[in-house]
Every structure is written in C-alpha cells, then in structure tokens.
C-alpha cells in the first residue's frame, strides 16, 4: 500500500495554494497514485467506478465514493483502511456524488458539478519512496518476461505470434500490458513503431512493451538480430547515443531547474551529431514516466518541470533501430538506475553527446 502520510503532505502543500477544501481523483492512474488501488471496472473505464479524495479538515481526511456492486470489493481490496467509503446506487452519477460529499470548494480530475478540474499529473511528480520500490519490482518482472520470450523467437515467426507470447508472459504478477508492439525488419524500417502484423520477423525484430501495475508504467524495447544488414549496428549505436544524451540532459535539467524543452533540444542536437538530423521530428522521443506511460513528452515547446526522483523513458529511433529503457533519476540528480535492465542480455557503452555520461545499453541479441 502507499505511504498516505507522504500523499497527505503533498496534497496539503497543493491545497494551501488554492481556495479548495478537498480534491478528488477518479481517473485510474490518479486513483492508483493516491490509494495504491485499481478503480477501473474494465480496461476502457476512464473515469473508473470509484473516486478517492482528500479533505484535510474532515475526519477521516481520506474518503472514497464507489458505485454499488463495486464498493464492497474496492473497500476490501483496493483502499487502505484509512479511507471512509460511501456507497452510492450504481445508476447514479459518480461526479454528482462527489460534489455532494464535498464540504466547501472542491477540485476533481473528472467532471463533477461545481468542482473545478485539476490536472493530477504534476501532483504525481516526483515519485515517493514507496512508489520507487514498487516501480523496481514491476520493471524487473517486465524485463524478465520480455527476455524469456525474446530468447525463443525465430526469424520465421510472425509478428502477431511473438506479440501473443509476450502478452501471455506479461499477464503474470497482476500486470497489464497496454503496449505490446512487435515489428519485423521490413515494417520496422517502414514505420516508426507499428503494432504487430502478419509479417515474419525476418532479419531482426524490434519488441516494445509497456506494462502497468497499480498505476505505475514501465517501458522497454529489445531487439533480436537474426541476420541484420551491415548498417544496422551503426544505426542502433546512434540511437543509443541519443538516448544517453536525453538522460544526461534530464539530469542537468533536474539540477539546474530546466524543463522538458531543454531535454528535447539536447535530443535534437544529438541526432544531428550522429548523422540523422531529421529523426527528432519523425515521432515522439519519450519523457517522464510513472503513473502514466509518459507523464510528459520532451518536445520543442514543452514547459514541464524535470523532477527527481522520477522515472524517465526515452525512445529514440534511427532507421529501424530503437533504444529504450525505463530509468530512475535518483533524488537530487545523484545518478541513474536502469529499472528495466536485463542482466543476461548483451550490452555496450554509449557516450552522451555533449555531456560527461556513459551508459551501459542493451545491444541487439543474436540467437
């Protein structure tokens, strides 16, 4: 379960800068951040079937409203004991019930009559200590499952067959897998990040996965090289250097008070240095990770702060080569930890462009 004292401290500081007396979360990732639980009745529920809130001047301060048919289970399995739970008829509006449950002015991350909307993303950053420990466990299990599947792949496997094997492997440990993408060499070079199709894997396979558990998201990409073209190694090492640069720029921005646009400019410069100046505009480059696949993206006009401790997952692509892992930037920018490391996978060192940072990156695996 989550550290509610840490959540209360953060919410107290936030509410002190507003005129609100309470704040409510019903979107699944924000609900999970506050409670450590799951309020999604199905994979498409947003908002979910329950809302969790914090009202510092009430007793108890932590409160929840849930629909009948779900409330008993959510109270027993998804919420810490500190939450008082109000059950409402299944056919009533969750937003209306939250409004009725709010004394004074309130904020909510979903539509609730009379309550101002709040963006929960900044409240989830930086990660708290208990978030980090749960993140490590999720990322380790994700990476191990991906490695097991990758080592069994063959060049004549169809992309969708590999994707099915990944989903089965990732279904253990209460994980869901909102992103499972497998591209053989032909489609990896034609499209930046395609979903699995019917093509054979061919010369190499690019496997990209994002998992989720209790709100936290871990992403990684691995490449299995059966008989890659000669240029592929150079393209892969170029992508890895861009990734190392993005992480180095992230650490600098965290230390110096920079923002997400500073990270993007470093990414753009790195692509130019490694000989692929147009790649920065070819698709998203990644960004902060935590209670969303990307809490924010590095982009030219992005103004998001760069906090620590925080997860970061960048995904530069050069040709058909993609380099991606989820890293933890430690508190005060002290260092990086690769959360999704695969210890039995081949690696190489990648130097950041313009920064004093060398990272051990995961190389293509040759069966």
- pLDDT single digits (tens) 220-254: 999 999 999 999 999 999 999 999 999 999 999 99
Positions of E strands within the chain: 22-25, 50-54, 62-67, 84-88, 106-108, 116-117, 176-184, 204-213, 216-225, 286-289, 296-297, 310-314, 317-318, 321-322, 325-329, 336-338, 347-351, 358-362
Q: How confident is the model at residue 41 (pLDDT cuts 50, 70, 90)?
A: confident
Q: How far is Cα of residue 6 from the mean position of the Cα atoms in its chain?
A: 21
- Continuous H helices in 154-308: 159-170, 185-190, 231-256, 260-273
Please determine whether the domains at 4-124 and 129-362 fall in the same fold group of CATH. Answer: no
Distance CA 71, CA 78 (A): 10
**pLDDT of 43 higher than 80:** no
* CA distance linking residue 309 with residue 332, whole number of Å: 7
What pLDDT, in 10s, does the model give residues 74-114?
A: 999 999 999 999 999 999 999 999 999 999 999 999 999 99
Rounded to whole angstroms, how far apart are CA atoms 282 and 137?
33
pLDDT value, residue 173:
76
Is the confidence at residue 304, as pLDDT, over 90?
yes
Residue 25, pLDDT above cutoff 80:
yes
What values do phi and psi take at 267, rounded to 5?
A: -65, -45
Interval 201-214 mean pLDDT: 97
pLDDT at residue 351 in the model: 98
Confirm if 316 and 263 have CB atoms less than 8 A apart: no
Query: Is it the case that residue 45 has pLDDT exceeding 90?
Result: no
Measured distance CA(359)–CA(352) in Å, rounded: 8
Measure the CA–CA gap between 299 and 277, rounded to whole angstroms. Answer: 15
pLDDT exceeds cutoff 90 at 367: yes
In contact, 264 and 298? CB cutoff 8 Å: yes
Q: pLDDT value at position 44?
A: 73
What is the token pair recorded at 198? Answer: 């019917």
User: Positive or negative CA dihedral for 159, 175, 342, 242?
Assistant: positive
- pLDDT value, residue 199: 97
Q: Write down the pLDDT at residue 103.
A: 95
Average pLDDT over residues 311-328: 98
CATH of 4-124, picked from 3.30.390.50, 3.40.350.10, 3.40.50.300, 3.30.365.10, is: 3.40.350.10
* Average pLDDT score, the chain: 96
Domain parsing of the chain, residue ranges: 4-124, 129-362
On the question of pLDDT at 42 being above 80, the answer is no
- pLDDT value at residue 269: 98
What is the mean pLDDT of the segment spanning 258-270?
98
> How much is the average pLDDT of 318-325?
98
User: Would you state the pLDDT for residue 360?
Assistant: 97
User: pLDDT for 141-189, tens place per residue?
Assistant: 999 999 999 999 999 999 999 999 999 999 987 899 999 999 999 999 9
- Whether the predicted pLDDT of 190 surpasses 90: yes
| Residue 190: Cβ-neighbour burial (10 angstroms; 0-12, 13-18, 19+) | exposed
pLDDT digits (tens, 9 = 90+) for 332-366: 877 999 999 999 999 999 999 999 999 999 999 99
Residue 22 neighbours by CB distance under 10 Å: 24
Instruction: Please give the pLDDT value at position 321.
Output: 98
Unique residue bearing structure tokens 């059950």:
87
Instruction: Tell whether the model's pLDDT for residue 306 goes beyond 90.
Output: yes
- Third-level CATH fold of 129-362: Creatine Amidinohydrolase (3.90.230)
Nearest CA among 53, 50, 30 for reference residue 40: 50
């Amino acid at each position: 379960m989550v550290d509610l004292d840490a959540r209360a401290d953060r919410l107290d500081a936030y509410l002190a800068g507003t005129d609100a007396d309470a704040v409510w979360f019903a979107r699944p990732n924000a609900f999970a951040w506050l409670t450590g639980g799951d309020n999604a009745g199905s994979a498409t529920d947003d908002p979910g079937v329950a809302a969790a809130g914090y009202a510092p001047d009430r007793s108890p301060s932590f409160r929840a409203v849930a629909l009948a048919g779900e409330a008993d289970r959510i109270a027993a399995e998804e919420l810490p004991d500190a939450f008082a739970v109000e059950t409402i008829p299944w056919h009533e509006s969750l937003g209306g019930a939250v409004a009725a449950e709010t004394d004074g002015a309130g904020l909510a991350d979903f539509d609730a009559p009379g309550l101002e909307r709040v963006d929960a993303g900044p409240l989830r950053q930086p990660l708290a200590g208990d978030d980090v420990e749960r993140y490590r466990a999720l990322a380790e299990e994700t990476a191990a499952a991906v490695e097991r599947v990758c080592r069994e792949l063959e060049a004549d496997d169809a992309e969708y067959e590999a994707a099915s094997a990944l989903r089965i492997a990732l279904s253990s440990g209460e994980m869901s897998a909102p992103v499972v993408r497998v591209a053989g060499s032909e489609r990896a070079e034609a499209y930046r990040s395609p979903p699995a199709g019917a093509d054979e894997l061919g010369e190499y396979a690019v496997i990209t996965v994002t998992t989720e558990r209790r709100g936290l998201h871990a992403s990684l990409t691995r490449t299995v090289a059966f008989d890659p073209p000669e240029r592929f190694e150079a393209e892969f090492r170029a992508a890895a250097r861009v990734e190392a640069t993005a992480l180095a720029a992230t650490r600098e921005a965290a230390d110096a008070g920079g923002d997400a646009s500073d990270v993007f400019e470093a990414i753009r410069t790195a692509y130019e240095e490694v000989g692929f100046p147009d790649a920065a505009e070819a698709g998203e480059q990644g960004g902060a990770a935590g209670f969303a696949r990307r809490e924010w993206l590095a982009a030219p006009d992005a103004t998001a702060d760069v906090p620590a401790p925080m997860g970061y997952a960048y995904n530069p692509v050069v040709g058909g080569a993609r380099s991606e892992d989820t890293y933890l930037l430690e508190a005060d920018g002290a260092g990086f930890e690769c959360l999704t490391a695969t210890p039995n996978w081949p690696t190489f060192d990648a130097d950041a462009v313009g920064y004093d940072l060398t990272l051990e990156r995961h190389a293509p695996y040759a069966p």
